[in-house]
């Protein structure tokens, strides 16, 4: 039986990916910053009928001790880690760079960039012992160099995550580690993330223009998770990008938006 560990998986994309892995007979380790949320998520995950098991371990990805505890917990529980997904992330308050408090900037960089780097470092050491494994990092706004007011520090982090992931993939190959590394690009998802900054510390009010774009390009996370997980399960290549919303698909969505009308925000008005 194979095992997947997903950071930030008590809700949103991480939790939806966990469900798809469980349905595909993977052992699953959920992890997040809040034990109560994790317990609830595990209960729901356990309702999925499969040959495998699931468990959780609290882990703040900005803390080295937590990361190491998550790795040793997963190995003790399931013997090996086949796939590790650096999914945990926080959104940015809708402010220009100079309007952000220093601790807000620090929080975004710590979770979205440093957390991914630290988790990758420690899980690499474990996967090198196994001489096998796959690590996936999540791209986001800014990964492709796009820029937008209010997302500059988040974008800085995600742009760096893209570079970091490619650099890690290259090192894995050159050092013959047996580990593969890839990027997951989930497009825009209708999760709590889009209306909450800094892990629910600050609310984001979406403008009508932003909602219009999200209605055209966005998807619920279960749809995206299904696509990403099915690609990860069959992938054997290093340095891949698994892309839910490539440019041609985004262009098609805009071209057909007059016919395929959607409103994700209708109940929230
Ligand atoms: N929602 C989108 O439109 C979108 C688009 C592109 C990329 N992404 C990326 O996808 C990933 C998942 O996003 P989501 O929409 O499911 O968000 P979400 O807010 O629903 O879930 C993120 C999870 O990460 C957890 N988390 C936050 N800080 C943490 C920390 N320090 N340690 C461990 N866990 C922590 C949160 O508690 C939460 O459960 C993130 O990396 C995000 O940047 C999201």
Q: Ligand 1, atom 40: nearest CA belongs to which residue? A: 89
Q: Ligand 1, atom 43: nearest CA belongs to which residue? A: 89
Rounded CA separation 221/115 (Å): 22
For the segment 17-62, what is each residue's pLDDT rounded down to a tens digit? 999 999 999 999 999 999 999 999 999 999 999 999 999 999 999 9
pLDDT of the residue at 269: 47
pLDDT of the residue at 266: 86
Distance 11 CA to ligand 1 centre (A): 8
Give residue limits of the domains in the chain. 2-192+219-245
Q: Which residues line ligand 1 (CB under 6 A)?
A: 7-8, 10-14, 32-33, 59-62, 87-90, 111, 115, 138, 140, 186, 188-189, 191-194, 199, 221
pLDDT of the residue at 203: 95
Superfamily of 2-192+219-245 according to CATH: NAD(P)-binding Rossmann-like Domain (3.40.50.720)
Distance 258 CA to ligand 1 centre (A): 31
Report residues of the chain scoring pLDDT below 50.
269
Ligand 1, pocket-test mutation among 37, 64, 66, 88, most atoms within 8 A of CB = 88
Distance 100 CA to ligand 1 centre (A): 20
Rounded CA separation 68/167 (Å): 22
Q: Ligand 1, atom 38: nearest CA belongs to which residue? A: 8
Rounded CA separation 2/30 (Å): 15
Rounded CA separation 184/14 (Å): 12
Pairing status of strand 188-189 against strand 83-86: unpaired
Q: Ligand 1, atom 11: nearest CA belongs to which residue? A: 87
Query: Does this model's pTM top 0.85?
Result: yes
Q: Ligand 1, atom 41: nearest CA belongs to which residue? A: 89
Q: Which of 181, 162, 166 lies closest to 238, judged by CA?
A: 181
> Is the Cβ–Cβ distance between 17 and 228 less than 8 Å?
yes
Q: Ligand 1, atom 1: nearest CA belongs to which residue? A: 189
Ligand 1, pocket-test mutation among 8, 90, 157, most atoms within 8 A of CB = 8
> Is the Cβ–Cβ distance between 224 and 186 less than 8 Å?
yes
């Amino acid at each position: 039986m194979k095992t997947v560990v997903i950071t930030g998986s008590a809700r949103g994309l991480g939790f939806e990916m966990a469900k798809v892995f469980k349905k595909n007979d993977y052992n699953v380790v959920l992890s997040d910053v809040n034990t109560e949320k994790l317990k609830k998520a595990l209960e729901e995950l356990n309702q999925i009928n499969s040959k495998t098991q699931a468990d959780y371990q609290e882990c703040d990805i900005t803390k080295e001790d937590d990361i190491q505890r998550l790795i040793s917990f997963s190995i003790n529980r399931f013997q090996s880690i086949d796939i590790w997904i650096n999914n945990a992330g926080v959104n940015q308050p809708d402010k220009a760079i100079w309007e952000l408090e220093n601790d807000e900037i620090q929080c975004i960089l710590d979770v979205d960039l440093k957390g991914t780097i630290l988790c990758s470092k420690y899980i690499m050491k474990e996967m090198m012992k196994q001489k096998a494994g796959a690590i996936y990092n999540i791209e986001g706004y800014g990964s492709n160099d796009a820029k937008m007011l209010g997302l500059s520090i988040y974008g800085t982090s995600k742009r760096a995550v893209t570079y970091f992931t490619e650099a890690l993939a290259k090192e894995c190959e050159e050092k013959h580690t047996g580990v593969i590394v890839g990027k997951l690009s989930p497009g825009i998802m209708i999760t709590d993330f889009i209306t909450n900054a800094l892990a629910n510390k600050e609310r984001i009010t979406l403008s009508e223009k932003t909602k219009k774009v999200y209605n055209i390009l966005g998807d619920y996370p279960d749809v995206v998770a299904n696509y990403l997980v099915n690609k990860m399960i069959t992938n054997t290549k290093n340095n891949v990008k698994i892309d839910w919303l490539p440019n041609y698909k985004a262009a098609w969505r805009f071209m057909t938006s007059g016919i395929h009308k959607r409103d994700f925000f209708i109940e929230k008005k």
